[in-house]
Amino acid sequence: LAARRTNACNMCGLCKEMCPNDVDMSEVYLYSKRIMHELDELPPAFHTFWLNDMDFHTKEIALSKNQPGQNIAKYLFFPGCQLGGSDPSFVYNTYCYLMEHLPGGVALDTNCCGAPSEWAGYTEVTEPLLKKFDQTWENFGHPTVILACPTCGKMMKKYHPQTKTISLWEILKSLPL
Task: State the Rg of the chain over Cα.
Answer: 17
Q: pLDDT value at position 7?
A: 67
Predicted confidence (pLDDT) per residue in 9-46, tens digit: 777 777 888 888 888 888 788 788 777 777 777 776 66
Q: What is the pLDDT of residues 78-102, one digit of tens each?
A: 998 888 878 889 999 999 999 999 9
For residue 166, count CB atoms less than 10 angstroms from its CB and return exposed for 0-12, middle for 13-18, buried for 19 or more: middle
Half-sphere exposure of 150 (CA within 13 A, CB side): 5
Please, are residues 33 and 119 in contact by the beta-carbon 8 Å criterion?
yes
